[in-house]
Structure 1
Amino acid sequence: MLPDKLTDRAYAAADLGPPALRLASTGTLTYGLSVGEVLGVSTLKGARLIGGRSGLDRIVQRLNVMEVPDILAWVKPNELLLTTGYPLRNTPQALENLVADLDERGLSALAVKLGRYLDGLPPQMIEQADRLGFPLILLPGDVGFDDILNQVLTDILNRQAAVLARTEEVHRALVQIVLGGGGLQEVVDEVAALLEVAVVAMDGDRRMLAGSGPEDQLQAMLDWDGPEHASGPVLSGRHLMVPVLAGGFDHGRIIAHRPAGGLRETDVVGILERAATVAALLITKQQAVAAVESKYRADFLRDVLAGRAGEDDGIIAHCAGFGWDLDRPMAVLVAELDDRGAEGRGRGEPAGGGARSARGRGDDERMVQERLAQAWTTVVRRHDRRGAVVSFAHEVVAIVGAGGPGGDGPAGSAAPDPAVLVKEATAVFCEPHGQRRTFSTGISRTVTSPAGLPEAYEQAVKAVRVGRQMHGAGARAHFDQLGVYRLLSLVSDPAELHVFVRETLGELATDDDPEAVDLRRTLQVLLDTNLNVAETARQLHFHYNTLRYRIGKLERMLGPFTEDAHLRLNLTLALHVLRMRGI
């Protein structure tokens, strides 16, 4: 007979109704009867546990009979293996390693009937079972394997049927919530009530979308360091997580938390998985609506920035419906991803690799662009709730309060500082996923009405592109700080600028000759120091006479620039154009 302690434990587990839930070796959840529950069925009332007591919570999903020597090739994980010892009757030494071999293959327990082929089990086998937590069971001689198979499998099937019936009932209840106009919060509330646990729904960035339960338990779920991606339910301690999947995309997760533990298998297949399905429906619906609204807002703002949206009063009224305030001093900020050509070739076709690789790069580029738009939306809402943020194909445009009162930040009515917006947007964009991409930002002058926004937008576009050329990736440039580069950027024909450079610098206009590049560097420093020979020699680490020789050579190539102020101006402009190469 089983010891009282084991019998109590087995029947206590059986009285739970649905089978216990445990993590498989893959980290996902399995369902079935625990070994302790199996030992509680009537056909095994005379069974005796002789080893591996710590493994009574192992899950039994199937049964198998070992009556051939090569059984190890046929066993499967989560099996209860039954045997009379017939295959091992002539090789008793094989018993010593049998437990380790079965445990390695993920079996749940081994049940042996002694007397006919084996008189007993070696002590080493029992010690190994205790060490591995692998239940080793002695079966009564009068019970047939067919009786055990029939009763245990019947219990598993009956419980699965009960689970399916309950899940279908829960599913109908959750769908009724949606059909009645309820949202994700109502679904979470219903799940929390059914399970009597705290529940939270989170997006892919682990931000809470809806939660129900005590604040400390909600925070515990938000702080839980669960798996980044999972294709199925995951149980870890007091947390039970189910991913929200739809259309091949991971939309987030639903987590249940019970401080005392004891989450059961029906909490997953019965409620949480159904809730995840309904949540996926709600989230994809919200995303579809948001996408349409976002496109509508973007199309209207594009018309505003192109100067074809109508009169100011109509624009102001229309934008007020979006929550935007354009009736105040404003500045336009344009953010563009750097290295677009290298990463995704956003504006044109990919360099090669076929349609499949081109589509993959395009998808990656869109995802990065969406992250950039989300980062700017988050930051602008934080500092100026009446500001506008939209994402175009290759840039994110923000219109925020500027030039004094007009902002709507949490600290008061002061307009947001563009430098602060750029810094925080960079942090939000980069930190969550270790994003290595950078973006450059251009800032316009302040305008006081929607009529000035088209010009301000063009200023911001020029600032971001000129700023990137001057300062590299991650640049932040204000249109008013571009100086002479702002004037040069107004030249609509880049070819004309290159002709001017070649005519002015002659042999120094290209990078083909290292000596020409070195002389151009000398010319640049001379002009920067206002022809101060001593200072130029110091900066370039030249001897004074060496620099004099170089100045003479430059004048023979370019003309008497040390005496001709107009020539010096032309040379300075040509060098500036070279720094703006690519514009």
Structure 2
Amino acid sequence: MEPPVRLASTGTITHGVSVGEVLGVSTLADARLIAGESGLGRIVQRLNVMEVPDILAWVKPHELLLTTGYPLRNTPQSLGRLVADLDERKLAALAIKLGRYVDKLPDEMVEQADRLGFPLIILPNDVGFDDILNQVLTDILNRQAAVLARAEEAHRALVQVVLAGGGLDEVTAEVATLLDVAVAAVDGGGRVLATAGPADHVTLLWESIAHEGPPLIPAPASGRTPSGTSASGAAGRTRAFASVPVVAGGHHHGRIVAYSPAGTIRDSDVGILERAATVAALVVTRQEAVNAVESKYRADFLRDVLTGRAGTAERVTARARAFGWDLERPVTVLVAELDPDGDERATQDRLVACWVAAMRRHDPQGAVAGFSHEVVAVLDATVDAARVAKDAASAFADVPPATFSTGTSRPSPGAELLPEAYSQALKAARVGRQLHGPGAVAHFDQLGVYRLLSLVNDTEELHAFVRETLGPLALDNDAENSDLRRTLQVLLETNLNVAETARRLHFHYNTLRYRIGKLERLLGNFTDDPHLRLNLTLALHVLRMRGI
């Protein structure tokens, strides 16, 4: 026997009509729904005729299956299982003609259809399958054509917005007009970038996004209508919220969210929202390209200022003003450097974004730019620099395990002294990390003796001083020497208080006296020579600053 005949429009149908709408066509005026009323919202996209016993191998989702019961005439016991099998394959409904091959549907079959919300329809005997196929398929094709025409019209309108130079404000306004809904464009972090629609509806949409955020629209299981929606509309389903992702270049940039208090957003409207998300992705990538170019110009200019290559003070002031920066006032320079193992490009970009946001809140006229391994900010000297750094660190905390260390300069009275302030901030960040570990915030004036040591540019001379002063204790290749160096450090910190040193190191008093004798044989009589003690203290400080 030939396989069953399936009639459907060419191509993949993404919209259809509900089972309830199918029952409204003239050829089915006398048809009776005997079970599965809760499934009237299921979508019919295809029609199939069941006249072979192995029909399950041929059915597809969203089909309306028509049958005379001929394949089941000799096995009526299989009718009870048929509904569950068809529902599992996500069919829309089963319509059957009784009397010729099957006289009555089993009660078990009817009960199961009601339980699953799977419509069972009794067809009138005087209506041919070809009439049903023609009418329903015509409705599906007409509906599909109307949906496609509306989607194309919306797409042209949205593309025209972009071609005219519009941004997310214009895109959301166009969608709100097309669908008569409130619309919001939301970035990946949940921040609302643009809204459009009636003010009270927009407020409700804001609240929804702020509290929980409407989810992306899922595909209903087995073609069922989602809870709380109606079976009317272009594709048989409506809803109050719809949300689609904005994706470009494999990156998720946010969402386009729509809200209708009347719950009238249809599946075809979701299709238009998807077109809008595509256009929004174009807007986002275009703006990112513009921002990247502008950021590069800003960073290049600020680097020139901080290295003293930007020209005269008048030229620096004028160009800074064009970027919205005020460099004529007394300012402080901050340097934020990613700590080791966090120097990835994406992490660096996130660090820049956090500092830009913090500067906007605390000093909108301050300069901020990202270099290859650091972010530099120049802000009003009256602003609490530590608070700005804490604000940026708080925003950056959602990028574990990356951290950054921050250094702050002395106040600088003008642009011509910014190179010196930049050097101070950079040294404060690096020395602070060495002294306090990752995530340190250090001010140049609070570095104490380390500030003086950091001014020695000849690091080889510093290392030579350490080797000459500490001798074998300068090396880390011997555990005993490292242990003796720790003993020396605590002795100097306690001003040679043997009892206190023994307590801190958990040594017996006599053990410590033995260690002191060993240290003096290696280093000299430091217990009686204050100058030697000073040299030893400085050498230990230099060791703590190793790598600077």
TM-score normalised to structure 1 length: 0.83
Q: 2:251 aligns with which of 249, 252, 260?
A: 249
After the TM superposition, which of the residue ranges 93-102 and 561-570 deviates more from structure 2? 93-102
Deviation at 1:246, TM superposition (A): 2.9
- Once residues 58 and 477 of structure 2 are traced to their aligned partners in structure 1, the CA distance between those partners, rounded to angstroms, is 72
Residue type of the alignment partner of 2:387? V
Give, in whole Å, the separation in 1 of the partners of 2:307 and 2:488. 43
**Alpha carbons of 1:226 and 1:33: their partners in 2 closer, same or farther (altered >3 Å)?**
farther
> Out of 252, 261, 267, which is 2:269 matched to?
267
Indicate if the aligned counterparts of 2:412 and 2:418 stay in contact, CA closer than 8 A. yes
The answer to whether 1:337 aligns with 2:343 is no
Q: Is 1:312 aligned to residue 291 of structure 2?
A: no
Aligned partners of 1:494, 1:101: CA distance in 2, in Å? 79
Bigger shift: 366-375 or 208-217?
Answer: 208-217
In structure 1, which of residues 393, 407, 425 is the aligned counterpart of residue 392 of structure 2? 425
Kindly state the Cα deviation for residue 304 of structure 1 after the two structures are TM-superposed: 0.7
Distance of 2:513 and 2:473 partners within structure 1: 18
Deviations 1:11-60 (A, max 9, x none): xxxxxxxxxxxxxxxxxx96321111112122222221111111111112
Q: 1:186, 1:439 → 2: CA distance?
A: 38
Q: Could you say which residue in structure 2 is the equivalent of 1:502?
A: 467
Contact 2:238 2:267 in 1 (8 A): no
- Structure 2 stretches lacking a partner, 5+ long: 1-12, 221-225, 227-236
Alignment of 1:360-509 (within 5 A): 365-402=344-381, 415-431=382-398, 435-509=400-474
Q: How does 1:537-556 map to 2 (within 5 A)?
A: 537-556=502-521
Per the alignment, residue 11 of structure 1 pairs with none
Aligned partner of 2:6 in structure 1 is: none
Structure 2: how far apart are the matches of 1:108 and 1:38? 11
Distance 2:332 2:33 in 1: 77
Q: Hey, what's the Cα distance between the residues in 2 that align with 1:279 and 1:185? A: 10
Matches within 5 A, 1:74-93: 74-93=58-77
User: Distance in 1 between the 2:238 and 2:35 partners?
Assistant: 27
Q: What letter corresponds to residue 223 of structure 1 in structure 2?
A: A
Indicate the residue corresponding to 1:518 in structure 2: 483
Distance 1:570 1:154 in 2: 96
Contact 2:63 2:92 in 1 (8 A): yes
CA distance in 1: counterparts of 2:238 and 2:443, whole angstroms: 51
CA contact (8 A) 1:231 1:243 kept: no
AA in 2 matched with 1:88? L
Shift of 1:371: 1.4
Stretches of structure 1 that go unaligned for 5 or more consecutive residues are: 1-28, 347-364, 403-414
> Is 1:223 the counterpart of 2:197 in the alignment?
no
Distance across 2 between alignment mates of 1:163 and 1:571: 83
How far apart are 1:333 and its partner, in Å? 0.7
State the identity %.
69
Paired residues of 1:244 and 1:252 also in contact (CA < 8 A): yes
Task: Work out the CA distance in 1 between the residues paired with 2:312 and 2:116.
Answer: 79
Does residue 45 of the first structure (1) align with residue 29 of the second (2)?
Answer: yes
Partner of 2:498: 533
**Structure 1 residues 236 and 396: CA distance shift in structure 2, 3 A:** farther
| CA positional deviation for 1:546 | 1.8
Please say if residues 298 and 391 of structure 1, whose CA atoms lie closer than 8 Å, have aligned partners that are also in contact.
yes
Match of 1:118 in 2: 102
User: CA 1:237–1:538 in structure 2 vs 1: closer, same or farther (change >3 Å)?
Assistant: farther
User: Which residue of structure 2 lines up, in the alignment, with residue 128 of structure 1?
Assistant: 112
Name the counterpart of 1:349: none
Tell me how far apart the structure 1 counterparts of residues 420 and 547 of structure 2 sit (CA, whole Å).
Answer: 23
Which stretch of the first structure deviates more once superposed, 165-174 or 34-43?
165-174
Counterpart amino acid of residue 421 in structure 1: V
C-alpha separation between the residues in 1 aligned to 2:465 and 2:349?
41
* TM-score normalized with structure 2 length: 0.88
Equivalence map 1:150-161=2 (5 Å):
150-161=134-145
**Count of aligned positions:** 518
Structure 2 counterpart of 1:305, one-letter code: L
Q: Is the 8 A contact 2:425 2:443 kept in 1?
A: yes
Q: CA RMSD in A?
A: 2.5
Verify the 8 A CA contact 1:444 1:463 in the aligned structure 2. Answer: yes
Q: Offset at 1:69?
A: 3.1
For the residues of structure 1 that align with 2:415 and 2:65, how far apart are their CA atoms?
78
The answer as to 2:538 corresponding to 1:573 is yes
Please give the per-residue CA displacement for 1:420-477, whole angstroms capped at 9, x wherever unaligned: 111111121224xx54321111111110111111111111111111211111111111
Which residue in 1 is equivalent to 2:223?
Answer: none
Q: How many angstroms does 1:103 deviate by?
A: 1.9
CA deviation string 1:299-347 (max 9, x = no partner): 11111111011111221121111110001111111112223xx35xx5x
Q: Equivalent residue of 2:286, what SS?
A: helix
- The secondary structure found in structure 2 opposite 1:582 is coil
In terms of mean alpha carbon deviation, does 469-478 or 491-500 score higher?
A: 491-500
451-460 or 96-105, which deviates more: 96-105
Deviation at 1:237, TM superposition (A): 4.6
CA gap 1:510/1:144 in 2 versus in 1, 3 angstroms? farther
Q: Deviations over 1:88-139 (max 9, x none)?
A: 3333332222222222222222222222332222212211111121212222
Contact kept, 8 Å, 2:173 with 2:195, in 1: the verdict is yes
Give 1:277's aligned amino acid: T
Partners of 2:216 and 2:242 within 8 A in 1:
no
AA paired with 1:255? V
In 2, the alpha carbon distance for the partners of 1:508 and 1:494 equals: 19
What CA distance in whole angstroms lies between the structure 2 residues aligned with 1:295 and 1:54? 60
**Residue 241 of structure 2 aligns with which residue?**
239
